[in-house]
Structure 1
C-alpha cells in the first residue's frame, strides 16, 4: 500500500473584501499581505503534475484547502484538484476550511464541495469518517471549529475518540488536521495547538493507528513510534509552500508492507524532486 499524503494547500484565490465578514477580513488581509507570495501558482501546478506522475494507492489530503473558507475558494480548490479526485482520494477539513461559521452548518461548504471524497460517516452526530482504499482502512477526524478570535486551536471530543476505538477492529490510518506531537524546534503556541492532544494520545494507546497523518504546522517531519505515542506521526504541510529557513515544505509517499518506508518530495527549480525525509525520535519533541 502506497499512501501519498499532502496538506495545507491554501490555494490562492482573489476575493472581494465586500464578500467577507468578521475575522475573515483580517484573515484574508493577512494572507494577501504576508502569505500569498509563499504559495505561488507555479508551485500549485507543479504539485498536481508531480502527483499525476507518481504511483500510489491512496491520496490523503489533511485539510486547509482554502484560506478563509469563502464559497469561491472551495470551488477553486475543487477545480485545481479535479485531476486528482478519484476513488483513491480521502480528504478531511483543516481549520481554514472551518474559518467562518457558515462553513460549518447547517449545510457545510466543505462537505458540500468534497462530500464524494470524505468517506462514510460512522455516527450521525459525530465527525468520524471511514473509507477503505486498496483494502486499507482510513479514519478521518475533524479537530476544527469556527472561533471568533484569530486563533487556530483544535479539539477532538472524548466521544469521538471512544466511538472510534469501539468501532475500529482492524489496522487503520488516522487522519486529522492538528499535530499530536511537535519537535522542540517547532513548538506551537497556545493559540495554535490541539488543546487536548495529550488525552488523545493516551486514549489511542489502547488501539493505536498504523499512522497518524496531519498538517497545520508548515514543516515536514516523521515522528517515529515511541513509548508515549506508539505510532508514527507524519506531517506533510505545507505541500504548496515555498521552503525557507523556518519551513521545510513538501509531501510524503509512504509505503506500508511488513515495515513502513517514507519518501519525501520538495519543490526545487520549478519541479518536485525526491529528497531525504526528516525523522525524529519521540524524545526529540513534545506531545
Structure 2
C-alpha cells in the first residue's frame, strides 16, 4: 500500500478583523505579517497538481488546514482540496483547526466541513475515528484543544489510547497532529508540545501501530523504530511551506511493506521534485 501524507497546509484566506474574536485576532495578525509569505499560492497549486499526478492508495492529511479556524477558512480549504478529496482521503484536525472555541462546538466546523472524509467514530464520547482504505485501517486522534492563551499544546486522554489498543485487532496506521518524538535540533517549547507523549508511547506498546503520521513541527523527518517507540514516526509538515535554513518542508509517499519504504517530495523551481528522505534513529531525538 502507498500512503501519501501531507500536513500543516495553512491555506491563506483574507479575513476581516471584525469577524475575529479573542486570540484569533493576534493569531491572524501574526499569520499575515510573519507566515503568509511562507505559504505562497503558487506552491499550493503546485502541490495539488503534483499529488493529482502521483500514484497512491491513501491520502492522509494530519491537520492544520486553516490558520485561526474561521468559518471562511474551512470553506476555502475544502475548495482548494476539492480535486484530492475522494474515498481514498483520510484527515484529522490540527491545533489551528481548533484555534477558537466556536470551532469546536456544538457544531464543530472541521467536522461540519470534512465529515465525509473523516471515517467513523469508534466511541460517541471519545475522538477515535476509523476508516478502512484499500484494506488498511487508519485511526485518527484529535490531540488539540482550544484555550484562551496563545499556546499550541496537545494532549491525548488515556481512555482514548486504551480504547484504541484494545479495540483494534488488525494492523493499523495512527494519525495525530502532534509529534511523539523530536530530533534534538527540533525540540519543542513547553507551549507547543504534546503534554503527555511519553504516556502515549508507553500505552501504545500494548498494540503499536505500523506507522504514526503527524505534523505540527514544520520540517520533515522519519524516526525509525526504536526501543521506546517500536514504530516509525513520520512528519510531513509543512507540505505548503517554502523551505529555509530551519525548515525542510515537503511531503512523503510511504509504501507499507517489509521493509517500509519512504519517498520525499519538495518544492523546487515551481514544481515538486523527489529528493532524499531525512532519517533519524530514536537515540538522535527525544520523547
Q: TM-score range by the shorter chain?
A: over 0.9
Moved more, 253-262 or 151-160: 253-262
Give the deviation of 1:248 after TM superposition: 0.2
1:144 corresponds to 2:144: yes
What 5-or-longer segments of structure 1 have no aligned partner? none
Q: Which residue of structure 2 aligns with residue 263 of structure 1? A: 263
1:175 corresponds to 2:179: no
TM-score for both structures, normalised by structure 2:
1.00
Give the deviation of 1:259 after TM superposition: 1.6
Whole-Å Cα distance in 2 between the matches of residues 102 and 136 of structure 1?
Answer: 34
1:229 corresponds to 2:248: no
Give the deviation of 1:258 after TM superposition: 2.3
1:42 match: secondary structure = helix
2:258 match: secondary structure = coil
What 5-or-longer segments of structure 2 have no aligned partner? none
- Count residues in correspondence: 287
CA shift digits 1:209-263 (9 cap, x unpaired) = 0000000000000000000000000000000000000000000000012220000
CA shift digits 1:148-196 (9 cap, x unpaired) = 0000000000010011111101100000000000000000000000000
Whole-Å Cα distance in 2 between the matches of residues 102 and 125 of structure 1?
Answer: 19
TM-score for both structures, normalised by structure 1:
1.00
Q: Which residue of structure 1 aligns with residue 200 of structure 2? A: 200
Q: Which residue of structure 2 aligns with residue 88 of structure 1? A: 88
Whole-Å Cα distance in 2 between the matches of residues 93 and 51 of structure 1?
Answer: 20
1:18 corresponds to 2:11: no
1:41 corresponds to 2:19: no
Whole-Å Cα distance in 2 between the matches of residues 278 and 166 of structure 1?
Answer: 33
Q: Which residue of structure 2 aligns with residue 31 of structure 1? A: 31
Whole-Å Cα distance in 2 between the matches of residues 276 and 182 of structure 1?
Answer: 19
Q: Which residue of structure 1 aligns with residue 58 of structure 2? A: 58
1:140 match: secondary structure = strand
Q: Which residue of structure 2 aligns with residue 134 of structure 1? A: 134
Whole-Å Cα distance in 2 between the matches of residues 76 and 279 of structure 1?
Answer: 34
